[in-house]
C-alpha cells in the first residue's frame, strides 16, 4: 500500500517537518507499506492558477506531484497550525488538483504546534477539507504539541512517551486505510 506523507510546512525554520520525518521513520518498518514523503517546501508549487487537468501548460512540479498523488493509496497530511487552521501551502497544493487524486482514499491528520494545544483547530478544519475532496478523514488525529521537545531534526523521537500516541494513531489510520484500499482493489479487479 502506497502511503504518501505530505509535509505541509514551508516556513523557514519550520518544526513541522520533524514530525513528518518522524511518521516516515515510524512507517518504514511496516513490510506491507511503501511510505513516501512529499515535502511541499521542495516542490515550490506556483500559487494556484488552474487545476492540473485543466491547465493549458502545467508546470513540471504539478505533473510530478500529480503522478505521486494518483499512485497513493492513502495519505497523511502533516500540517502546522497557523492562525487556527492548516497551512496555506497545503490548501494551495490540494486545490491544484482535482478530487480524483484524493477521492475514496483514507487521509490521516497530523497537526503540529510549538505551544501546548497541538493544533486541534487546524485538525478540525482539515476534516472539512478532506470531506470536500470526497476522501475519508481518519477520525483519530495525531496532535503534536511542543514539537521541539518531541522530535529532532531527523525525526527521531526525543520524548519516548509520545510513541504511544503515534502507535495509537497509526493503528487507526491503517485500519481505515487498509479497508478502503482493499475495497478499491476489489473494484479494480472486477473492471
Ligand atoms: C503565521 C503563524 C501562525 C501561527 N498560528 C498558530 C496557532 O494558531 N496556534 C498555535 O498553536 N501555534 C501557531 N503558530 C505557531 C506554530 O505552532 C509553530 O510555528 C510551530 O512550530 C509549527 O509550525 P512550523 O512548521 O511553521 O514551525 C503560528 C505560527 C505562524 C508562523
Q: In order of start, what are the domains of the chain with their CATH numbers?
A: 2-190 (3.40.50.360)
**With a 6 A CB cut-off, is 34 part of the ligand 1 pocket?**
no
Short-list 74, 82, 58, 51, CA closest to 172 = 74
CA–CA–CA angle 10, 128, 167 (5° rounding): 70
What distance lies between CA 176 and its chain's CA centroid?
A: 15
Query: Where residue 190 falls among pLDDT bands split at 50, 70, 90?
Result: low
Could you list the beta-strand ranges (E) of 28-123. Answer: 34-39, 74-80, 106-112
pLDDT in tens, 126-143: 999 999 999 999 999 999
Q: What is the 119 CA–ligand 1 centroid distance (Å)?
A: 9
Short-list 155, 134, 149, 185, CA closest to 26 = 155
**With a 6 A CB cut-off, is 115 part of the ligand 1 pocket?**
yes
Q: What is the 129 CA–ligand 1 centroid distance (Å)?
A: 19
pLDDT in tens, 91-121: 999 999 999 999 999 999 999 999 999 999 9
The tally of CA atoms less than 13 A away on the side-chain side of residue 96 is: 25
Tell me what the mean pLDDT of segment 179-188 comes to. Answer: 92
Residue bearing cell 496555506: 88
Substitution candidate for ligand 1 out of 85, 113, 121, 148 with most atoms within 8 A of CB: 113
**Which H/E stretch holds residue 20?**
helix 16-27
In the predicted model, what is the mean pLDDT of the chain? 97
Whole-number Å distance between alpha carbons of 171 and 163 = 12
Give the β-pairing of 74-80 and 136-137.
Answer: unpaired
Portion of the chain with pLDDT greater than 90, in percent? 97
**With a 6 A CB cut-off, is 15 part of the ligand 1 pocket?**
yes
Q: What is the 148 CA–ligand 1 centroid distance (Å)?
A: 12
Residue 136: strand, helix, or coil = strand
In degrees and rounded to multiples of 5, residue 47 shows phi and psi of -60, 140
Residue 188, pLDDT score: 76
Cα pseudo-dihedral 19, 24, 29, 35, rounded to 10: 150
Other C-beta atoms lying within 10 Å of the C-beta of residue 65? 22
Give the β-pairing of 2-7 and 106-112.
Answer: unpaired
**Helix axis angle, 16-27 relative to 163-190, nearest 10°?**
60
Tell me what the mean pLDDT of segment 16-42 comes to. Answer: 98
pTM for the whole structure = 0.97
Query: Where residue 59 falls among pLDDT bands split at 50, 70, 90?
Result: very high
Report which protein residue has its CA nearest ligand 1's atom 23: 80
Substitution candidate for ligand 1 out of 16, 22, 82, 87 with most atoms within 8 A of CB: 82
Amino acid at each position: 500500500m502506497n502511503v504518501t506523507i505530505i509535509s505541509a510546512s514551508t516556513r523557514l525554520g519550520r518544526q513541522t517537518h520533524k514530525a513528518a520525518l518522524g511518521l516516515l521513520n515510524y512507517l518504514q518498518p511496516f513490510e506491507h507499506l511503501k511510505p513516501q514523503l512529499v515535502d511541499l517546501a521542495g516542490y515550490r508549487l506556483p500559487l494556484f492558477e488552474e487545476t492540473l487537468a485543466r491547465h493549458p501548460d502545467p508546470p513540471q512540479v504539478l505533473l510530478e506531484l500529480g503522478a505521486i498523488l494518483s499512485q497513493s493509496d492513502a495519505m497523511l497530511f502533516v500540517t502546522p497550525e497557523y492562525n487556527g487552521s492548516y497551512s496555506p501551502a497545503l490548501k494551495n497544493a490540494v486545490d491544484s488538483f482535482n478530487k480524483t487524486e484524493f477521492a475514496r482514499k483514507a487521509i490521516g491528520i497530523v497537526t503540529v504546534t510549538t505551544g501546548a494545544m497541538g493544533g486541534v483547530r487546524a485538525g478540525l478544519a482539515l476534516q472539512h477539507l478532506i470531506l470536500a475532496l470526497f476522501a475519508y478523514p481518519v477520525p483519530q488525529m495525531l496532535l503534536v504539541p511542543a514539537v521541539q521537545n518531541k522530535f529532532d531534526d531527523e525525526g527521531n523521537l526525543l520524548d519516548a512517551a509520545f510513541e504511544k500516541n503515534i502507535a495509537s494513531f497509526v493503528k487507526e489510520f491503517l485500519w481505515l486505510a487498509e479497508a478502503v484500499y482493499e475495497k478499491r482493489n476489489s473494484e479494480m479487479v472486477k473492471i
